[in-house]
Chain A
Amino acid sequence: DAGVIQSPRHEVTEMGQEVTLRCKPISGHDYLFWYRQTMMRGLELLIYFNNNVPIDDSGMPEDRFSAKMPNASFSTLKIQPSEPRDSAVYFCASSFSPEQGTGELFFGEGSRLTVL
């Protein structure tokens, strides 16, 4: 398997613009997680899905952030409008359910977002 695939790897945009980050999880995984990593706060869980259904979005900073998972092989994280404080590395991760398998978590390479 190719692993978790994220795009774009780097995104530089101006404040107020819409940003869409994409993720393709490992085939068969039923859990998908979106994390944000900054020096100040470390890794923060934004939202996670189980079988394409959003389960907990309490980590989403505000209404400017939204995430979707239209099918088992694709998820998006959208920021509209973007602000400089959104600059961070956004990671997508996927796993099997820890009840059905090992629950080992696999990460993508991340999308580095810079908002000017």
Chain B
Amino acid sequence: KQEVTQIPAALSVPEGENLVLNCSFTDSAIYNLQWFRQDPGKGLTSLLLIQSSQREQTSGRLNASLDKSSGRSTLYIAASQPGDSATYLCAVRRSYIPTFGRGTSLIVHP
């Protein structure tokens, strides 16, 4: 059974810092890995999707990498802003089923 772990569970940083959020998974036979953002009381918004054949994806200040052999992905957020405050979740898709981590709750204070 796929298990997904996200570290740290919570993070509070001053504005402007570069951040790294971690996601690890136990079974490397995956189709893809997807990073989401969830604001309080809202649904999950897709940020980046990495296919199993890819090593990284970039969107604006976000960069996600994937190392299947070690079962790890990182989400890098450059020059963090208060608007980045949210919960970030990763989902690993294996055998058609997406499995989610518990998320990293991020607060960026001015």
Contacts and interface: CB of A to CB of B under 8 A. Distances in A.
Nearest to A110: B43
A56 B91 CA distance: 18
Contacts of A43: 89, 100
Interface in A40-73: 42-43, 45, 48, 50, 55-56
Interface residues of B, number: 23
B49 A102 contact: yes
Contacts of A25: none
B65 to A, nearest CB: 17
Contacts of B93: 98, 103, 105
Interface string B29-45: 00110101000011111
A34 interface: no
B58 interface: no
A33 B49 contact: no
Interface of B: 31-32, 34, 36, 41-46, 49, 51, 89, 91, 93, 96-103
6 contacts: A42-B100, A55-B96, A97-B96, A104-B46, A105-B46, A109-B43
Given A42-B103, A50-B96, A98-B93, 20 more contacts: A42-B100, A43-B89, A45-B97, A48-B96, A55-B96, A98-B31, A98-B96, A102-B32, A103-B32, A103-B93, A104-B32, A104-B46, A104-B49, A105-B34, A105-B98, A107-B43, A108-B43, A109-B42, A110-B42, A110-B43
